[in-house]
Structure 1
Amino acid sequence: MIPTRMLLRRMSNNVRHQSILSQRAEVQQEEPIRIIRTTEDNPQKHNRDHLNRFYTIPQNAVSQVMPRTSMPRRLHIQIKTFREACIMVREPAIELISYLEQTDYSKPPNKYVLYGPVGSGKTLTLMHLLHYGYVTEKILIRLSKNYVWNTREQNAAGTPLQEMIDFGIGRGKYTCDVINALLQELKAASTAGNCNTLVLLDGVNAFFGEDTLVKDSTFKPLYAQRVSLTQSFLDFIKYDWCNGAIIATVDSLAVKRDNQFDSTYPRFLLGKLGFEHLDPFLPIEVPNYSEDEFDAAIEYLKDRMWIRNLTEAGKRELELLSNRNPYKLMRLTAARTMSPSLVTKRLVSHPLSFENPIWIIASTAF
């Protein structure tokens, strides 16, 4: 027999324990739960309801949407570290998607130019649009005429476009000619209504720069206008075709010159020649993170267990040091082993590392 006094003591302890658990549960329920992800991974269905949220690119599409040779090196490292490719749904991408959905493709292609501070996310916005083009139906084009490369090698009319691409990859001597022929075939197919072509160019102002990495026989850098591929791409973004759209970015890092960081506006970065070639176009600014976007980025890093035990003071310090710039925030959170003074000194003395401009072309049939 258990004494009555001991039985009552056990009952009171159980009641006290249950009350403590219930209080903890109430506290946990009162804590706000921030939603930083969206389950909608189809960019065609993205709208303003998905703003400031991350969506995950399906694993089978990552290599197509984010090819290793066309993304910043640090972004590639981040994707490998987090084992997922996530993009924040931001206002510029939503705005562009809405324009593309409402475009009259029977007219010459509309041109859109993304601009903004270095590291604000222009390339990632372009990749968001690249994924938008990828999720639509793919094109299947056959050559409209014979392409004779030499006495023994040619691509006859009616053969698949892939055969000519494989030939250009295997024979470096004819690569420029193959690319030029490929662009002409895409323009012809779009004008004929066989496909809808979405052209994406990252760092388009590099086409109008004063020097390139290409050198002549005397090892002097060539002007961009003297490179054959430059003319092929400049012809491709003219208004002499229809059933397509052109989205480009201008970047201070695409062209190296003394005053390259003086302005981020398209008129300054493109110069007179580049501005006249693209005009008319619709400029769309890609700014630094807003307050909500910055909070979402911090929550994503917490979700991936990349930063832990971050206080409000530490979060405020990150906000001030990065000025809500996505690239600087990535650098700051990646440099966990550095002292704050060293990180600040490095960001001030060397704001950003130079990345080579990239050109991405995605052709899809909507």
Structure 2
Amino acid sequence: MLTFFSRLFPAANIISTEWRALTTAVNTQIRERGDNFRCAESNPSNHSADHIAQFYSLPKNDVQTLFTHGGLPKLFKEQCKTFNETCIMIRKPAIDVINSLKIIDYNKPAYRFVLYGVMGSGRSLSLAHIIHYGHKNGFLLVHVPWVGNWMRRCRETSNAVMEEGLIDINIDAAMWLTHFKTQNEELLKDEQFKVSQDYIWNKREKTAQNASLLELIDFGINRIKYASSCIVVLAEEIKKLSKSGVCKTLVAIDGYNAFFHPKTRIFKENKEIVHPHKVTVTKAFLSLTNFDWNNAGIVVTVDALAMGEPNPKSFLPKFLLGKEGFEHLDPFIPVEVENYSEKEFISCIDYYNDRKWIQQYYPELRNELSFVSNNNPFKLQEITGPL
């Protein structure tokens, strides 16, 4: 039958043969490039501009410690499960911030960096790379995976128990305390991490002066009613510990602008919308992103999705933070996270091909994907899913 078809359509047979040969040649060329899209160095402390556009693999223990309770985008986590590895591309914004954290004078007020960019450009993964650097270099990590979850999808609200007029989100607060403890447990075992004064919660319960910071955290986790208030206390104790030289602190907050957007989905009993500044935990993280302390680095991202605006007029920090948020952070160092460069795009395609995420790779596919996705990392991830 094939012989008959080949005799009937000889030209088609030639084209088909040539196409298979060309596709094979392309795939062979990709294999011959070896693992140029991979970085053998898994410690972000050793990453430099020479590694930009390469993927590095995070050790499983580090992933469990840092991101068990959040910090990686949902679609990316699903992809990592499929690939059976957690790999992050080394990109210039993360390298720029890491290099700055290596050389800044920690005796001066806390330096503040703001990652911004169009939706899907990779701000959260750049932040994850920076967090991994902080973990490897002994920073005390204060990481909020996504502020939008607190302001728009909180699990429970109640009137604050420690300060009248505020609203507690205690279940979310207790979950964050668990996240903080998981990320820093080894560091917090040091006897120097202790509270500076007595904290009286009620007639029968208090956290005594010189109690360990872990005791304070466990109290907030086990007594959920006081979880939000524990975060406020913890924030002030962290600042004191940093100023006294006990530790260096890295504050990393994704979707930071949600702290300033007036339209939350938190309501009072009379159905009135609660402003973020009336939420107890906001007080803690606005304090931590102030410049009135030292021995710390602060890295935040701004994102329209964090405040429920999928089609913003601008993705620039001044617009997303608003006047109040901008003035709170000013002065800060803006760091734009752009769409993939050509080199990064090719590296990503090579990685997807290596992981068999792209089943059929042919010469024109790369150009088509580049055009359709506009080299946007998130769009590229979505488009290549069915391939």
Tell me the TM-score normalised to structure 2 length. Answer: 0.77
Deviates more, 1:111-120 or 1:130-139: 130-139
Residue number in structure 2 paired with 1:355: none
Residue 172 of structure 1: how far off its partner (Å): 1.5
Alignment of 1:246 onto 2:247: no
Residue number in structure 2 paired with 1:72: 73
Instruction: Evaluate the alpha carbon distance shift between residue 100 and residue 151 of structure 1 in structure 2; reply closer, same or farther with a 3 A threshold.
Output: same
Are 1:260 and 1:269, in contact at CA under 8 Å, matched by a contact in 2?
A: no
Instruction: Evaluate the alpha carbon distance shift between residue 57 and residue 308 of structure 1 in structure 2; reply closer, same or farther with a 3 A threshold.
Output: same
Q: Tell me the distance in 2 between the aligned counterparts of 1:38 and 1:113.
A: 26
Q: Tell me the distance in 1 between the aligned counterparts of 2:337 and 2:30.
A: 37
Residue number in structure 2 paired with 1:229: 281
Instruction: Evaluate the alpha carbon distance shift between residue 31 and residue 200 of structure 1 in structure 2; reply closer, same or farther with a 3 A threshold.
Output: closer
RMSD: 1.9
Q: Tell me the distance in 2 between the aligned counterparts of 1:73 and 1:96.
A: 24
- Count how many residue pairs are aligned between Structure 1 and Structure 2: 310
Q: Tell me the distance in 1 between the aligned counterparts of 2:338 and 2:65.
A: 26
Q: Tell me the distance in 2 between the aligned counterparts of 1:28 and 1:226.
A: 59
Alignment of 1:180 onto 2:232: yes
Residue number in structure 2 paired with 1:332: 383
Cα deviation code 1:209-253 (max 9, x no counterpart)? 012232211334311122121122111211111110111111111
User: 1:110-149 alignment to 2 at 5 Å?
Assistant: 110-137=111-138, 138-139=187-188, 140=190, 141-149=193-201
Residue number in structure 1 paired with 2:14: none
Q: Tell me the distance in 2 between the aligned counterparts of 1:251 and 1:303.
A: 31
Instruction: Evaluate the alpha carbon distance shift between residue 71 and residue 93 of structure 1 in structure 2; reply closer, same or farther with a 3 A threshold.
Output: same
- State the AA in 2 paired with 1:177: S
Q: Tell me the distance in 2 between the aligned counterparts of 1:34 and 1:79.
A: 18
- Which residue of 369, 375, 378 maps to 1:318? 369
Q: Tell me the distance in 1 between the aligned counterparts of 2:367 and 2:248.
A: 46
Residue 146 of structure 1: how far off its partner (Å): 1.1
Residue 305 of structure 1: how far off its partner (Å): 1.2
Are 2:121 and 2:338, in contact at CA under 8 Å, matched by a contact in 1?
A: yes
Residue number in structure 1 paired with 2:98: 97
Gaps of 5+ in 2: 1-24, 139-186
Instruction: Evaluate the alpha carbon distance shift between residue 320 and residue 29 of structure 1 in structure 2; reply closer, same or farther with a 3 A threshold.
Output: closer
Gaps of 5+ in 1: 1-23, 337-366
Are 2:71 and 2:128, in contact at CA under 8 Å, matched by a contact in 1?
A: no
Q: Tell me the distance in 1 between the aligned counterparts of 2:358 and 2:86.
A: 18
Question: SS at 1:176's partner residue?
Answer: helix
- State the AA in 1 paired with 2:118: P
Provide the identity percentage.
43
Cα deviation code 1:4-62 (max 9, x no counterpart)? xxxxxxxxxxxxxxxxxxxx9xx989954451111111111110111111100001110
- State the AA in 1 paired with 2:226: Y
Q: Tell me the distance in 2 between the aligned counterparts of 1:177 and 1:245.
A: 24
Instruction: Evaluate the alpha carbon distance shift between residue 29 and residue 114 of structure 1 in structure 2; reply closer, same or farther with a 3 A threshold.
Output: closer
Tell me the TM-score normalised to structure 1 length. Answer: 0.81
Question: SS at 2:304's partner residue?
Answer: coil
- Which residue of 314, 327, 336 maps to 1:263? 314
Question: SS at 2:285's partner residue?
Answer: helix
Cα deviation code 1:160-186 (max 9, x no counterpart)? 111111110111210111000110010
Residue 136 of structure 1: how far off its partner (Å): 2.0
Are 1:68 and 1:76, in contact at CA under 8 Å, matched by a contact in 2?
A: no
- State the AA in 1 paired with 2:337: V
Question: SS at 1:174's partner residue?
Answer: helix
- Structure of larger gyration radius: 1
